[in-house]
Structure 1
Amino acid sequence: MSPVVRPTYVSLTVLVALLLVLAGAGAGRGAERPVVELDRAQAGTGGSVTVSGSGWRPRALLTLLVCGQAEPKRGVTGGTNSCANADGRAVTTGSDGRFRRELPVVEPPVPCPCVVHVATVTGRGAEADAALQVAGHAVEPLPADAAGGRLSLLADTRLRGSGGLLTWFGSPPERTLVVTVGNVGTSPVKNPVFQVGTSHGVFAPQWQDQRWRGTIRPGGEARIELPVELGAGAHGDYTVSLKYGGKVLAEHPWGVGRPWGVTLFWVLVLLVVPVALLRAALAVIDHVRPRRPGHAARPPRRVGPLMARRASAEPWFAPDADPPPRPPGT
């Protein structure tokens, strides 16, 4: 090989090596998953643990909960109903995706094994768990995994429908959650029961069980449509979540407009009612107060001396007398 060509091959080799290193580093960053760590593995009720995490989305809002019937590998099998929601905490990650927050230790509503469950509130869903032993709390084995079919999300979710005139006046907003799921298990899934939850702000979702009628065979897919409804007068930014088998399959934002019809109604009430009350009060006052004699008889008009003499001399001049007849020929 000539000395002129050797530097070219060396440069290409170095360039390829650099590209491989950069690609590996990028893949490592892309594959980084959220991690949760505790400063202690066991704590009693009334104490606290320090929760730290890394690998989360920058500036993401997270919720921290103590949950029962859960393991880091299987997650929270009973959903957030197995968590001490009233004693949870919220935290926002830094620009590097890290956080650190103190969490009080309380007994969850179901037996242990327990975990500290961390999940995102808005945006792309992510969650992670860290095992925690709650001293003095009951411990029961987890239910066995249901063998057979497993459902996975295949397409993006969407909300179908729109608000109407009744919603503008405070009627409960309604939509239809549409998702496409596939059966990645080895047996059919018949009449699966999904959990649909709606959350507002930092509050945990309120889950409702909804059964979908049908069978999804292994390797097959199905389009799932489930109704979603909020409370009367609800408005603001909501998140609709879909869960199956204790795992959140999808999340979709839902911006609900303010029911301005209700505001317009109250504005009209505040304007019309005072005017009506004022008119009624004026009518009552006008009816109750004593009336002044508006059409009383006028006193007789005085007649001066000259007019009296003329009236006596000429009777026809009297105001109430008829004029005398004219003589013929005049």
Structure 2
Amino acid sequence: MNLGVPTAALAAAFLAGPALPAASARADVAAASARADAPQPSIGVGSTRLSPGRPATVTGADWPPGATVQAEVCGARALRGSADCDTLRAAVALVAADGTFRVTLIAGAPPSRCPCVIRVTAQPGASSAQLDVELAGQREAPLPSLAPAPRVDVVRTRLSGSPGLAELFGASPHRTLTVTVRNPGTTALGRAPLIVAWGTGGTADIPVSAPLTRDLPAGATRTYLVRVTLPAAAFGRYSVGGAYGPAKFSSATDVYPWGLITTAVLSALLLVYAIGVAARRRFRERPVRAGVPASDATVTAPVPPTDVELAGLRTFLARAGDEGGRTIALHTLLRHVSGQPELTDRQGLDDLVRLLAPPLPTRPGDTARAESDEPRDARSREVR
């Protein structure tokens, strides 16, 4: 078998594999060397002797283009950062494309004693530079020793307070935050600030007035009570947290105005009930239309009028008499007088017509004819 070509290919791949990490490592070393060889940011000032309240021009070179720089006068060589600097009179400038900037600031008295410096920092990034200066009228003091940050423990955090009657109906809820802290170190802790805030959604960002703190001796424990007032008609879970010095704490409470919720639900039910009653009443009082079953219709008895037109009544009775009837039902007469549809049965109306209609003038022949008709009518009644 001829294995020359595959063997050579495998050998080349095996030898080329380790070369990739080696090349990457060489690139990282070259980049680090280039960064080390790059010029560091520098600053300069027109005069290194400054007078409080007088302007001083600060220039810089080799700064990251587009970065924002802040220049300020600091004491104690700015060993503790901005805590030693006069941040109230700091000046801000934008670095040009060539890495330079120029800014004028007003020299002020820093919170720490000299030796003093002008400190420039860049954002974003961690570039910084400082230059020693003399500040007229300021005495020098030994540099402070940078002691380790003190430690403090939050032993207990609790929110107390039950909802009252007013809170159940939307009043502002009140809670009491209890914070217990302890100093586990061997040195006393100064008056560390107590910061408390509340908020929704797990974020406490609305500040709350907290009491002033006192020195905390080594191994001592102290409890602080903070009154927290939430907004009116608060609903849901609220977070209450803060910090005591370097230690942080948090707690939460649930607020639900059940009285207000119940009142709203009952009001909605009453509104729906009132709408239903009004709709039912309107349906019952609407006029009956043709085709509506009698069981669904509202029957109203006709009310006869107090006055009846005599001419209309005579016409009605005369028409009923023409049909050959001798009597007329009372309800038929009432329906006619009340304006209801007339009935077809009008028997006996002829007698009522004779009673109500005025007598007609008679002739001699008519009287004899009437007398001859009486026996005939009597015989017909007997036959019946």
Normalised TM-score (structure 1): 0.40
- The answer to which structure has the higher strand fraction is 1
Normalised TM-score (structure 2): 0.35
- The answer to which structure has the higher helix fraction is 2
